[in-house]
């Protein structure tokens, strides 16, 4: 009898206080972390493209389709970052989908070798999707995530709003700190070589010139002419900050570094978090990148 009563009490509690977290699917690891920061214990986030994985070349599989069908909400970056097959799978699943970059004015993907290669942007079209490399824009991004969570789980509105407020404060502080770090470096020295053109928004926000052999998508290989032009540019402008990326094979960057006599300064996290520290959260990733960049440009 006693056990039976305890069972009823436990069931009552689990219904009110310990409701199961809402299943949410995010298309890639950075968006997954932002969702977790705002959702807290009310959400169970699964990501399709995990830590250290390249979303540009990712193929949707049957396990992903099962995750989508079991979710109450699917969050995507938008701006052509995800392949069309993902949008189709979500549509077929009838699960609500929200776009985190909604309302953010995208940068155009430029077509000279110092930025992106127009011809290589067949996946992204003419827009640069890497908005997460600007913590000011990320405040809008986070707001969009919170709005989507509130729509899917109205009972959690005050919980999501409070966590959003805290997170936006953190993003604002991140921007102030990054601006101070970069402002300490003469503008003429703010030049960086990376593997693909993922840092346009960071460059625009903090007045840094990023040079990349690949465009905003990592799918197409640069031509020998483009690589030769970059090697000339590094030599002429005395660029010291050369980095590989966590999602990419570093051979191209290593080759350019070898031919210019410049040392590769380490790894930047461009389109994916790391599995463990330092870049296993968006804030951690951004801090790591800014510290590495500012140290290399000095």
Domain of residue 270, CATH code: 3.40.50.1980
List the pLDDT tens digit at each of the 298 positions of the chain. Answer: 455 555 555 544 444 456 899 999 999 999 999 999 999 999 999 999 999 999 988 999 999 999 999 999 999 999 999 999 999 999 999 999 999 999 999 999 864 333 333 333 334 468 999 999 999 999 999 999 999 999 999 999 999 999 999 999 999 999 999 999 999 999 999 999 998 899 999 999 999 999 988 886 777 778 889 889 999 999 999 999 999 999 888 999 999 999 999 999 999 999 999 999 999 999 999 999 999 999 999 9
The answer to whether residue 201 is domain-embedded is yes
- Predicted local distance difference test score (pLDDT) of residue 171: 98
Asked if residue 287 and residue 230 are part of one domain, the reply reads yes
Question: Do residues 32 and 57 both lie within one domain?
Answer: yes
Tokens 């790391």 sit on residue: 274
Residue 123: its pLDDT value, please?
Answer: 45
- Which pLDDT does position 248 carry in this prediction? 85
- Tell me how far CA of residue 209 lies from CA of 26, 85, 188, 212, in angstroms: 31, 34, 9, 10
Would 195 be classed as within a structural domain? yes
- Residues 194, 267 within the same domain: yes
| Domain annotation covers residue 108 | no
**Residues 201, 281 within the same domain:** yes
Tokens of 111: 């077509």
- Predicted local confidence at residue 116, as pLDDT: 36
User: What pLDDT, on the 0 to 100 scale, is given for residue 6?
Assistant: 52
| Tokens found for residue 92 | 């077929």
Report the pLDDT value the prediction gives residue 162, as an integer from 0 to 100: 98
Query: Omega before 278 cis (within 30°)?
Result: yes
- Domain assignment present for residue 266? The answer is yes
- Is 251 inside any structural domain? yes
Instruction: State which residues form the domain around 200.
Output: 182-297
Contact partners, residue 159, CB within 8 Å, separation at least 6:
40, 42
| Statement to judge: residues 132 and 31 lie in one domain | yes
State both tokens at 103.
């309302």
For the record, the structure tokens of 174 come out as: 């991140």
């Amino acid at each position: 009898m006693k056990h039976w009563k305890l069972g009823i009490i436990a069931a009552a509690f689990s219904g009110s206080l310990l409701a199961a977290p809402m299943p949410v699917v995010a298309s890639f690891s950075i968006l997954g972390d932002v969702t977790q920061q705002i959702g807290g214990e009310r959400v169970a986030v699964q990501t399709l493209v995990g830590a250290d994985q390249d979303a540009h070349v990712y193929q949707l599989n049957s396990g992903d389709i099962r995750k989508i069908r079991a979710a109450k909400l699917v969050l995507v970056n938008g701006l052509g970052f995800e392949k069309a097959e993902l949008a189709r799978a979500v549509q077929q699943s009838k699960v609500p989908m929200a776009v985190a970059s909604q309302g953010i004015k995208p940068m155009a993907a430029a077509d000279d070798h110092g930025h992106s290669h127009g011809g290589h942007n067949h996946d992204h079209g003419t827009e640069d999707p890497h908005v997460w490399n600007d913590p000011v824009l990320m405040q809008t991004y986070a707001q969009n995530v919170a709005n989507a969570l509130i729509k899917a789980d109205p009972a959690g509105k005050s919980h999501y709003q409070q966590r959003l407020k805290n997170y936006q404060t953190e993003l604002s502080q991140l921007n102030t700190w990054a601006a101070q770090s970069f402002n300490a470096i003469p503008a003429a020295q703010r030049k960086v070589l990376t593997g693909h053109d993922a840092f346009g928004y960071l460059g625009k926000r903090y007045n840094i010139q990023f040079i990349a052999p690949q465009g905003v998508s990592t799918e197409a290989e640069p031509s020998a002419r483009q690589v030769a032009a970059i090697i000339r540019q590094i030599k002429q402008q005395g660029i010291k900050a050369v980095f590989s990326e966590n999602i990419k094979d570093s051979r191209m960057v290593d080759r350019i570094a070898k031919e210019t006599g410049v040392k590769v300064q380490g790894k930047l996290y461009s389109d994916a978090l790391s599995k463990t520290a330092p870049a296993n959260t968006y804030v951690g990733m951004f801090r790591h990148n800014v510290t590495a960049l500012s140290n290399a440009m000095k």
